[in-house]
Amino acid sequence: MKELGVGLVYFQGFEKFLVSHSSLIDVLEIEPQTFWYDKNDECDAFKYDTSVSDFLAAYEKPKLFHGVGYPIGGTILPPVAHFNTLREQAAQLNPQWISEHLSYNMFSDNRREVNAGFLLPPLQSKESVELAANNIRYYRAQMNDRPFAFETGVNYLKPRKNEIPDGLFTARIAEEADCNILLDLHNILANQRNGRQSVKDFLASLPFERIVELHVGGGIYYNNYYLDAHSGPMDEELHRILEDVVKRLPNLKALMFEITPDYFKKVPEVEIRNQLVKMRRIWDKRGQDLKSQEPGVKNQAEQISCRSNQRFDETISVKEWERMLGRLILNNNTDGPLAGELVKDKGVDIIKDLVFNFRGSVLISALKLTTRLLRLTLGEALFNRIVADFFYRVSPQLLPVVMVEQFAEYLKLNGISVHGMDKILEYEIASIHTAIDKQTRVVSFGFDPFPVFSALQNAQLPGMLSTGKTVNLHVVFDQPAKVSELINFTPVFHK
């Protein structure tokens, strides 16, 4: 694995910054699933935006792939279509290695597979270690043995009695799978601030020689919890932790900064530039402490592993954990001792809020005009109850287009409509499908839609609709949208 340097996790809309700050960026990390938009049944794969891939291919920096759709910590393996698409993208962009999250987002419930809509923490048990290791081996084989690393996750749940501690759980999976670690320092700092294992103890359990990549970023507080929100530059505490850790890593290959597009637009450009400059100064200190280390001395991880003979709780199966936590997050009825334990954990409510806001942000991004008309006409409180009921009745989906069609059907079945909404909804859905299949569609309005569009774009309730004439709008695929305007899976945290 090549030593690559300092870089940025890419999102659509970052193009101008990447070009103008190329001297500060050595490597680019791509989340491939963020520009998948439809299922391609003809070749059992997903469709993805080739204009994004073409830009990335032309950007002459090394690339990494960081998966966000199919984590390696669960019992349900990714579908064949996932790897078909990922291999196709990898052939074009040649990532130096691939990483995925140590989490799960799918669970089995009454013989059907349910998407939880969020990366959830796995059960920290021996069974989970073996499961994750097998998943990593499978993932690596599907990607033609390209180098692989798994990311240390954020966990908003309180520590469970007799579970494998966070750092040791990570170390055991890495050793069992014989793979690399992507150490997200902001994640483990968030865990510490929320009452889980301290950063010091977490790091003491890790095999440092397996850490090939680091992630840093910023967070926010919400309801007394510190969230891994990727909200801006790292704070002073994380800066100190990063500087200490970088000096101790013998095989560090990349140091990446994460910020979501929502915050990227809000944070002054100079702050993002300064963040990269600080990271480059720290990068220059990599491995410094190794020079003074005495030969033959075992590192802390090896010492802890040698004396760690504690027996951990194995009474709960991974499938039971996934089902119980998944059902709770989606507000489905659960019972039993494990459900009773989790219900008391305030972290479950935090994850519920995050899932709701994530799904809501995707829905509002995809149906901007329709949802804005509903909110302005019905009020925020009623709109939120409608969305909450829709989310309760319909499971999360990987592709926004599927959610959009389900929401349209939900509104129809429940008789939810305001004047002009049906045609605006038809127009937005037609626009989405035309962007996918490039086929022209015609939407006939019984009123002039342009004053309505203008008002809604400005977050204003439209006036009286001028009826009495028919306006046919032709929805035509003329040219690819600007990369920054494409719908993506950007998680937006808001109330």
12: closest CA among 483, 401, 384, 403?
A: 483
Radius of gyration of the chain (CA): 24
Give dist(CA 369, CA 379) in Å, integer.
15
Share of the chain above pLDDT 90, in %: 75
pTM of the model: 0.88
| pLDDT score for 280 | 98
- Dump pLDDT digits (tens) for 440-465: 999 999 988 999 999 999 989 988 77
142: closest CA among 196, 88, 96, 182?
A: 88
Q: Does position 480 have pLDDT exceeding 70, yes or no?
A: no
| pLDDT score for 40 | 83
CA distances from 418 to 161, 228, 388, 469 (A): 52, 38, 19, 20
What are the residue boundaries of the structural domains of the chain, listed by start?
Answer: 5-307, 346-485
| pLDDT score for 290 | 83
* Cβ pair 19, 274 in contact under 8 A: no
With tokens 């799978």, the residue in question is 177
pLDDT band at 490 (very low <50, low <70, confident <90, very high): very low
| pLDDT score for 479 | 61
| Beta bridge partners of residue 107, listed in sequence order | 114
- Residues in Cβ contact with 404 at an 8 Å cutoff, skipping those fewer than 6 apart: 363, 366, 367, 428, 429, 432
296-310, 409-423, 433-447: least confidently modelled range: 296-310
With tokens 């966990």, the residue in question is 155
- What's the CATH code, domain 5-307? 3.20.20.150
pLDDT band at 148 (very low <50, low <70, confident <90, very high): very high
- Dump pLDDT digits (tens) for 315-334: 899 999 999 999 999 988 88
CA distances from 173 to 46, 91, 148 (A): 30, 28, 13
| pLDDT score for 309 | 63
Greater confidence (446 vs 174) lies with 174
| pLDDT score for 292 | 58
- Dump pLDDT digits (tens) for 41-52: 888 999 888 889
| pLDDT score for 93 | 97
Q: For 167-184, what is the mean pLDDT?
A: 98
Q: For 360-381, what is the mean pLDDT?
A: 94
Task: Pull the structure tokens for residue 115.
Answer: 């998407």
Give dist(CA 249, CA 203) in Å, integer.
11
* 3-state SS, residue 473: strand
- Residues in Cβ contact with 467 at an 8 Å cutoff, skipping those fewer than 6 apart: 446, 447
Q: Does position 306 have pLDDT exceeding 50, yes or no?
A: no
Q: What is the mean pLDDT of the chain?
A: 91
Q: Which amino acid makes up residue 495?
A: K
| pLDDT score for 50 | 87
The H-or-E segment that residue 30 falls in is strand 27-30
